[in-house]
Amino acid sequence: MKRLFDILGTLFLLSVLWAPLACLCLLQLTLMGKPIFFRQDRAGLKGQSLSILKFRTMLNDGGSDADRLTPWGKFLRSTSLDELPELWNVLRGEMSLVGPRPLPIHYLERYTPRQNQRHNIRPGITGWAQVNGRNGLSWERQFELDLWYVEHHSLWLDLKILARTVITVFQRKNISADGHATRSEFFGSKIR
């Protein structure tokens, strides 16, 4: 049922958003140049590697994330428009509309066995942690919320999260972690 909901929801979103997505691609090309997309290996279902697709928000030059993040990139991140290309990952069956956010593949060795259970379902474009604090959460709190979702997910909860995601995006809060241009690195929990 969840997979069917993902496919139908994604096809609906793409039918509504195709023109804005085309405009975003053109703007992205004009303001950021090539490539317009950013790919990164993340951990998906059962910890398998998947290559997420996002609009690029940083310059390719070296330096810190804060130095490479452009004003256009900040706008894309604050509005979550950079996430829209992940609809392709949903259509491919690698992601869901709702689920724990996929994190970098190299984090796998840093999780506790309990935290690793976040990979028991497909990762999502949005999730319970995203509508309850986003990047303003500590890593431990994010994982608690992710695991709560894994244990309680349902179609009704997904609909609630999608509705709250729209509100969260318009509020434009907790886009990055305190003191960081994006999100702090996860080095592992103190309690193993």
**pLDDT tens, N- to C-terminus, the chain (192 residues):** 899 999 999 999 999 999 999 999 999 999 998 999 999 999 999 999 999 999 999 888 777 888 888 899 989 988 889 999 999 999 999 999 999 999 999 999 999 999 999 999 999 999 999 999 888 899 999 999 999 999 999 999 999 999 999 998 887 665 655 555 667 889 988 655
Q: Which residues contact 152 (CB under 8 A, 6 or more apart)?
A: none
Residue 176 counted as domain residue? no
Q: Is residue 50 one of the residues assigned to a domain?
A: yes
Buried b / exposed e along 111-138 (16+ C-beta atoms within 10 A) = beeebbbbbebbbbbbbbbbbbbbbebe
User: Does residue 44 lie in a domain region?
Assistant: yes
Domain count, the chain: 1
Q: Is the pTM of this model over 0.75?
A: yes
Q: Which domain holds residue 11?
A: 2-171
39 DSSP 8-state letter: E
**Amino acid, single-letter form, for residue 31:** L
Residue 185, helix vs strand vs coil = coil
Residue 177: inside a domain: no
Report which secondary-structure segment, H or E, holds 21. helix 2-32
Residue 192 lies in a domain: no
190 occurs within a structural domain? no
Q: How many CB atoms lie within 10 A of CB 91?
A: 14
**Residue 45 falls within a domain, yes or no?**
yes
How many beta carbons lie within 10 A of that of residue 16, not counting itself?
10
Contact 117, 159 (CB under 8 A): no
Task: Indicate whether 56 belongs to any domain.
Answer: yes
